[in-house]
């Protein structure tokens, strides 16, 4: 037992015994661990139903672009030392690039995995639950909310709703980038763990409960919507819909739960918890900036006819569960923990 001359009881963190398994597992962490698990699910689907991969969708490209930006920033910061030929300058840059790759790798891989797995929705359970979701909406509200929202239609409102719907993944990535720039790697890994959890669980629910958005539901298409088609003032909505339907023509089976609503809730949670990474003197500022955007995003899922109300409820529950589980996984990851033990000290 270690004795410290501090005159009081203290807790000493002693590292666990060093072995290669523990070191590797500690470096993998829960974020990469979950990512590998979902890669395994994708591999099973590929074997069972054939290969179907997506490479260039925006959710994949955004974290990849951020990683390249972080590596460029690391290079620029060390460029004077590199040009002067300072010993170890290149090694310093290489270490920084490896850290960025380690921290952002899970984001990139899980988004590629998810976008690829999403094309398999409907292959296990082929019948959708759209009729059930429609009946729930009507029973709860007396009217289908996506049809009722047509009363609020205005081209400028359609532009705003389309904008907030489009930035669902950009808002949390701003927090994640700030954490990375400030070297808060453990906080970043917790946030990526939450995102990975909700993407993975969401995909399992897509397989179990395939459902399409209300805008593709035949009874509503045949006179249920007023106006029959939404239009925007700038054309952004039309462009967005074209991109969505071209990039993922099978989106008609991946509405329940709403991952837009889920990840938007995660944005609020981590903007509240880690907002000081963006504004150290006003740690809640980014949260309050996000609130109207996220609320608009949630409403946009109805206004733009993308989701049923049960989709939204399930998405919010999924976001809350992921935000609750991620910090617990961060603390409980056995291989990466330090051991805390009470130690008596005296003068």
Tens digit of pLDDT at every position of the chain (347 positions) = 444 444 444 444 445 545 676 666 667 778 888 888 888 877 787 777 776 666 666 566 777 788 888 888 888 888 888 888 888 889 888 888 888 888 888 888 887 777 766 667 767 777 789 999 999 999 999 999 999 999 999 999 999 999 999 999 899 999 999 999 998 988 998 999 999 999 888 888 888 888 888 988 888 888 788 898 899 999 888 887 776 665 554 455 778 899 999 999 999 999 999 999 999 999 999 999 999 999 999 999 999 999 999 999 999 999 999 999 999 888 877 544 433 333 333 33
Q: How many whole angstroms separate alpha carbon 64 and alpha carbon 54?
A: 14
Element (H or E) spanning 342, and its range?
strand 339-343
Three-class secondary structure of residue 340 per DSSP: strand
Between CA 34 and CA 29 the distance in angstroms is: 9
Number of H helices, E strands in the chain: 13, 2
Domain-by-domain residue ranges, the chain? 10-332
Burial class (CB in 10 A: 0-12, 13-18, 19+), 258: buried
pTM more than 0.85: no
* Rounded distance between C-alpha atoms, residue 164 and residue 254, angstroms: 20
- Picking from 105, 256, 90, 104, the residue whose alpha carbon sits closest to that of residue 179 is 104
pLDDT given for residue 316 in this prediction: 96
Nearest to 186 by CA among 274, 275, 68, 71: 274
Helix 58-84 to helix 89-118 angle (10° resolution) is: 170
CA gap 213, 243 in Å, rounded: 16
* Secondary structure (DSSP) of 6-74: TSS-EEEEEPPPP-HHHHHHHHHHHHHHHHHHHHHHHHHHHHHH--------HHHHHHHHHHHHHHHHH
């Amino acid at each position: 037992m270690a004795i410290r001359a501090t005159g009081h009881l203290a807790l000493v963190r002693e590292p666990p015994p060093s072995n290669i398994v523990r070191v590797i597992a500690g470096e993998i962490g829960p974020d990469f661990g979950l990512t590998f698990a979902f890669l395994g699910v994708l591999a099973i689907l590929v074997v069972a139903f054939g290969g179907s991969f997506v490479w260039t969708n925006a959710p994949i490209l955004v974290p990849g672009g951020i990683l390249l930006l972080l590596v460029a920033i690391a290079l620029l910061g060390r460029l004077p030392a590199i040009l002067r030929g300072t010993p170890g300058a290149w090694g310093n840059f290489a270490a920084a690039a490896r850290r960025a790759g380690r921290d952002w790798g899970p984001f990139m891989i899980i988004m590629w995995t998810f976008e690829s797995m999403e094309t398999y929705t409907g292959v296990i359970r082929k019948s959708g639950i759209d009729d059930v979701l429609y009946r729930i909406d009507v029973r709860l509200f007396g009217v289908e909310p996506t049809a009722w929202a047509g009363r609020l239609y205005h081209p400028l409102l359609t532009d705003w709703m389309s904008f907030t719907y489009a930035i669902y993944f950009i808002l949390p990535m701003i927090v994640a980038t700030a954490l990375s720039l400030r070297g808060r790697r453990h906080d970043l890994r917790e946030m990526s763990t939450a995102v990975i959890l909700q993407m993975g669980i969401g995909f399992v629910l897509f397989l179990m409960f395939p459902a399409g958005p209300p805008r593709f539901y035949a009874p509503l298409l045949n006179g249920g919507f007023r106006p029959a088609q939404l239009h925007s003032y700038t054309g952004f909505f039309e462009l967005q819909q074209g991109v969505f339907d071209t990039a993922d023509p099978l989106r008609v089976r991946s509405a329940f739960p709403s991952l837009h609503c889920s990840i938007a809730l995660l944005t609020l949670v981590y903007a509240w918890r880690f907002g000081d990474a963006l504004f150290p003197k006003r740690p809640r500022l980014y949260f309050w900036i996000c609130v109207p955007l996220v609320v608009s995003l949630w409403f946009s899922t109805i206004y733009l006819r993308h989701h049923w109300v049960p989709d939204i409820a399930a998405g919010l529950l999924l976001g809350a569960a992921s935000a609750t589980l991620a910090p617990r996984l961060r603390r409980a990851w056995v291989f990466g923990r330090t051991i805390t033990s009470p130690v008596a000290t005296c003068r």
